[in-house]
Chain A
Amino acid sequence: MLSRVADSLYWMSRYLERAENTVRQLDVTLSLMLDTGEVDLKARWQRMIAALGKPVGMDWNGSIESMSKSLVYDSLSPASVIYCLNGARENARQVREEISTEMWQRLNRLYHQMHSLHTQSQFTANTSDQLASVIDGIYLFKGTTDTSMIHGQGWQFIRLGRYLERAYSTATLLEVYQPDLFEAPSSESAGHLYLELVGLLRCCTSFEAYCQVYTADLSPDRILEFLLLNRDFPHAIHYCVDGAHQAIEGIQQTGGRRPPEELKAGIGKLSAMLRYTSISEIITGDTAGFLHTIREQCLRIHELIYRYYVHYSIQSALAV
Chain B
Amino acid sequence: MSTGHSVELDSLFGDYPLDQAFDEMRQGSGDVRAQYRALAETLASLPPDELQRRKQSADLSFLTQGITFTVYGREEGTERIFPYDLLPRIVTAEEWDRIERGLTQRITALNLFLRDVYSDGKILNDRIIPRELVYSCKHYRRPMRGLQVPRNVYIAVVGSDLLRLNNGEFVVLEDNLRVPSGVSYMLTNRRVMKRTFPALFQSYGVRPIEHYPQVLLATLRSLAPEGRPEPNIVLLTPGVFNSAYFEHTYLARQMGIDLVEGRDLVTHDNIVYMRTTDGLKRVDVIYRRVDDDFSDPLIFRPDSSLGCAGLFNAYRAGNVTVANAFGTGLADDKAVYAYVPRMVRYYLNEDPILPNVETFLLSEEKDRRHVLSNLDKLVVKAVGESGGYGMLIGPHSTARQREEFARQIEANPRNYIAQPTLDFSRAPCLIGDRLEPRHVDLRPYILFGDKVNIVPGGLTRVALEKGSLVVNSSQGGGSKDTWVLE
Q: Which residues of A are interface residues toward B (Cβ below 8 A)? A: 1-6, 90, 93-97, 101, 104-105, 108-109, 112, 153, 251, 255-258, 309-310, 312, 314, 317-318, 320
Of A94, A97, A104, A309, the residue contacting B66 (CB under 8 A) is A104
Q: Which residue of B is nearest A96, CB measured?
A: B249
Judging by beta carbons under 8 Å apart, are B279 and A258 in contact?
Answer: yes
Q: Which residue of A is nearest B239, CB measured?
A: A94
B261 proximal to A (CB < 8 A): yes
Report A105 CB to chain B, min CB distance, Å: 5
Give the docked Cα–Cα distance between A222 and B99 (Å). Answer: 77
For B280, the chain A residues whose CB sits under 8 A away are: 314, 317-318
Chain B residues 185-242 with CB under 8 Å of chain A are: 239-240
For A255, the chain B residues whose CB sits under 8 A away are: 277-278
For A309, the chain B residues whose CB sits under 8 A away are: 277
Judging by beta carbons under 8 Å apart, are A3 and B240 in contact?
Answer: no
Considering residues B63, B264, B276, B277, which has the most beta carbons from chain A within 10 angstroms of its beta carbon?
A: B277
Give the docked Cα–Cα distance between A318 and B279 (Å). Answer: 8
Judging by beta carbons under 8 Å apart, are A320 and B279 in contact?
Answer: yes
When each residue 227-266 of chain B gets 1 if its CB lies under 8 Å from chain A and 0 otherwise, what string results?
0000000000001100001100110110000111101101
Give the docked Cα–Cα distance between A97 and B276 (Å). Answer: 16
Report A315 CB to chain B, min CB distance, Å: 10
B274 proximal to A (CB < 8 A): yes
B366 proximal to A (CB < 8 A): no
B35 proximal to A (CB < 8 A): no
Of B64, B250, B268, B276, the residue contacting A2 (CB under 8 A) is B276
Judging by beta carbons under 8 Å apart, are A90 and B65 in contact?
Answer: no
Judging by beta carbons under 8 Å apart, are B278 and A256 in contact?
Answer: yes
Give the docked Cα–Cα distance between A255 and B66 (Å). Answer: 31
Judging by beta carbons under 8 Å apart, are B64 and A109 in contact?
Answer: yes
With contact pairs A90-B240, A96-B253, A97-B252 given, residues A1 and B66 touching in the complex (Cβ less than 8 Å): no
With contact pairs A2-B274, A97-B253 given, residues A317 and B279 touching in the complex (Cβ less than 8 Å): yes
Count B-side interface residues using an 8 Å CB cutoff: 27
Give the docked Cα–Cα distance between A180 and B387 (Å). Answer: 64
B407 proximal to A (CB < 8 A): no
Q: Which residue of B is nearest A310, CB measured?
A: B277
Judging by beta carbons under 8 Å apart, are B249 and A97 in contact?
Answer: yes
Q: Can you report 8 residue pairs joining A to B where beta carbons are below 8 Å apart?
A: A6-B277, A96-B250, A96-B253, A97-B258, A101-B65, A108-B65, A108-B66, A257-B278
Report B99 CB to chain A, min CB distance, Å: 31
Judging by beta carbons under 8 Å apart, are A4 and B263 in contact?
Answer: yes
For A5, the chain B residues whose CB sits under 8 A away are: 258
Considering residues B261, B278, B280, which has the most beta carbons from chain A within 10 angstroms of its beta carbon?
A: B278
With contact pairs A2-B274, A3-B275, A93-B240 given, residues A108 and B264 touching in the complex (Cβ less than 8 Å): no
Number of A-B contacts (CB under 8 A): 74
For A93, the chain B residues whose CB sits under 8 A away are: 66, 240, 245
With contact pairs A1-B276, A2-B274, A97-B249 given, residues A108 and B64 touching in the complex (Cβ less than 8 Å): yes
Judging by beta carbons under 8 Å apart, are A2 and B260 in contact?
Answer: yes
Of A1, A95, A104, A105, the residue contacting B277 (CB under 8 A) is A1
Give the docked Cα–Cα distance between A93 and B268 (Å). Answer: 30
Chain B residues 261-313 with CB under 8 Å of chain A are: 261, 263-264, 266, 268, 274-280
Give the docked Cα–Cα distance between A314 and B275 (Å). Answer: 9
For A104, the chain B residues whose CB sits under 8 A away are: 65-66
Of A90, A101, A251, A257, the residue contacting B279 (CB under 8 A) is A257
With contact pairs A90-B240, A93-B66, A108-B64 given, residues A4 and B279 touching in the complex (Cβ less than 8 Å): no
Q: Which residue of A is nearest B252, CB measured?
A: A97
With contact pairs A93-B240, A101-B65, A314-B266 given, residues A3 and B277 touching in the complex (Cβ less than 8 Å): yes
Report B247 CB to chain A, min CB distance, Å: 11
For A95, the chain B residues whose CB sits under 8 A away are: 259
Judging by beta carbons under 8 Å apart, are A3 and B65 in contact?
Answer: no
Report A118 CB to chain B, min CB distance, Å: 16
For B268, the chain A residues whose CB sits under 8 A away are: 314, 318
Q: Which residue of B is nearest A154, CB measured?
A: B277
Q: Which residue of A is nearest B269, CB measured?
A: A318
Give the docked Cα–Cα distance between A36 and B10 (Å). Answer: 70
5 more CB-based (< 8 A) A-B contacts, given A96-B246, A96-B253, A97-B252:
A1-B278, A4-B275, A97-B250, A105-B65, A112-B63
Give the docked Cα–Cα distance between A153 and B277 (Å). Answer: 9
Report A101 CB to chain B, min CB distance, Å: 7
For B240, the chain A residues whose CB sits under 8 A away are: 90, 93-94
When each residue 14-50 of chain B gets 1 if its CB lies under 8 Å from chain A and 0 otherwise, what string results?
0000000000000000000000000000000000000
Give the top 3 A-B pairs by smallest Cβ distance, nearest first: A96-B249, A97-B253, A97-B252
For A314, the chain B residues whose CB sits under 8 A away are: 266, 268, 280
Judging by beta carbons under 8 Å apart, are A96 and B66 in contact?
Answer: yes
Report A92 CB to chain B, min CB distance, Å: 9
Report A221 CB to chain B, min CB distance, Å: 41
For A96, the chain B residues whose CB sits under 8 A away are: 66, 245-246, 249-250, 253, 259
Report B306 CB to chain A, min CB distance, Å: 14
Give the docked Cα–Cα distance between A258 and B277 (Å). Answer: 10
Give the docked Cα–Cα distance between A1 and B260 (Å). Answer: 11
Report A299 CB to chain B, min CB distance, Å: 20
Judging by beta carbons under 8 Å apart, are A4 and B65 in contact?
Answer: no
Considering residues B66, B252, B266, which has the most beta carbons from chain A within 10 angstroms of its beta carbon?
A: B66
Report A158 CB to chain B, min CB distance, Å: 13
Q: Which residue of A is nearest B64, CB measured?
A: A105
Q: Which residue of B is nearest A8, CB measured?
A: B240
Give the docked Cα–Cα distance between A66 and B64 (Å). Answer: 30
Report B254 CB to chain A, min CB distance, Å: 9
For A105, the chain B residues whose CB sits under 8 A away are: 64-66
Give the docked Cα–Cα distance between A256 and B240 (Å). Answer: 30
Report A306 CB to chain B, min CB distance, Å: 11
Judging by beta carbons under 8 Å apart, are A4 and B264 in contact?
Answer: yes
For B253, the chain A residues whose CB sits under 8 A away are: 96-97
Give the docked Cα–Cα distance between A90 and B65 (Å). Answer: 15
Report A254 CB to chain B, min CB distance, Å: 8
Report B10 CB to chain A, min CB distance, Å: 40
Give the docked Cα–Cα distance between A164 and B9 (Å). Answer: 62
For B259, the chain A residues whose CB sits under 8 A away are: 95-97
Q: Which residue of A is nearest B63, CB measured?
A: A112
For B266, the chain A residues whose CB sits under 8 A away are: 314
Give the docked Cα–Cα distance between A125 and B250 (Å). Answer: 40
Report A69 CB to chain B, min CB distance, Å: 23
Give the docked Cα–Cα distance between A314 and B63 (Å). Answer: 40
Report B18 CB to chain A, min CB distance, Å: 41
Give the docked Cα–Cα distance between A139 and B441 (Å). Answer: 45
